[in-house]
Amino acid sequence: MKRIIRTGMCLAICAQMTSAAGFPMDAMAYESGTVINGATVQGKITFTGTVPEPKTFELRRYYDREYCATLSDGKGHRLLKEVNVGQDGGLRDVVVIIEGVEKGKPFTVTDAEVEASLCQFMPFVTVVSDKRRVTVFNRDPVSHDIQGYAYNQSGVDIVLHRPALHVSGTTDMVQLVKGRKVFTMQCGMHPYMQNWGYAIDNPYYAVTGPNGTFTIGDLPVGTYRIKAWHPTLGTQEREITVKPQEALMVDFLFEASQPVK
């Protein structure tokens, strides 16, 4: 059986700091088990309207300007493109999470890996958790000042600081205290180097690629909340109910009618 759900909202009311604070983490720890007749949730995240312009950084103001100019605009600037939209409107770098799942398929926690290459962090968006280590590899011949923060509307905590990241890189356990779910990492020497993470507590999640699509399978029968989070465009969410072996289609539409503050 297949059902289709579509939802959308104006980004003006999806401010990042507010959305990160709206729903607390589940009190019960996730339990791995066997899923029988599980459902599949899939869909597409679409962006409509004018894509925000990239942030511009004047290279001469920062360290290692000659090396970091490898990816410049040819006019002495580095550009940070925070919203990436495909030709068909698919929105990249959206973390899709299904919340409220207390028991389901095995949850294998693997390290999050971020690579510093040509003075940029790759990938731009990843997932993190208190049980997931973050490894940052430095592929550049220059050092980086790694600063990691966890935040929501109530405040900000620095959760990672490596002031001189050399080729050997670093592996750290990121502790997202106070129930905060948003993690951001930047370089203090090269501010155009930014990476974002969202905290997960179960295996029912996906990160959209260039076409904006996602698929999350083996979901136990029940009622949950599905959330679509983008680091600069904010959050959309809704309640879903899945039946045995159901294929549920859930689409989200982000619309940029005015800048998010």
Residue position matching structure tokens 């550009």: 79
Domain span holding position 39: 2-256
Supply the pTM of this predicted model.
0.87
Q: What are phi and psi of 71, to 5 degrees?
A: -110, 30
Question: Considering just the CA atoms, what is the radius of gyration of the chain in Å?
Answer: 19
Tell me: the pLDDT tens digits for 196-245?
999 999 999 999 999 999 999 999 999 999 999 999 999 999 999 999 99
> Quick check: 141 pLDDT over 70?
yes
The per-residue pLDDT of the chain, averaged, comes to 87
* Residue 261 located in a structural domain: no
Highest mean pLDDT: which of 7-21, 161-175, 208-222? 208-222
Strand order in the sheet with 205-207: 205-207, 95-99, 222-230, 234-242
Tell me: the pLDDT tens digits for 122-137?
999 999 987 678 899 9
Beta strands at 182-187 and 144-152: parallel, antiparallel or unpaired:
antiparallel
* Residue 150 located in a structural domain: yes
Looking at residue 172, its pLDDT comes to: 86
> Quick check: 82 pLDDT over 60?
yes
> For the chain, how far is it from start to end, CA to CA, in angstroms?
41
CATH number reported for the structural domain that contains residue 98 in this entry: 2.60.40.420
Residue 184 contacts residue 151 (beta carbons within 8 Å): yes
The number of distinct structural domains making up the chain is 1
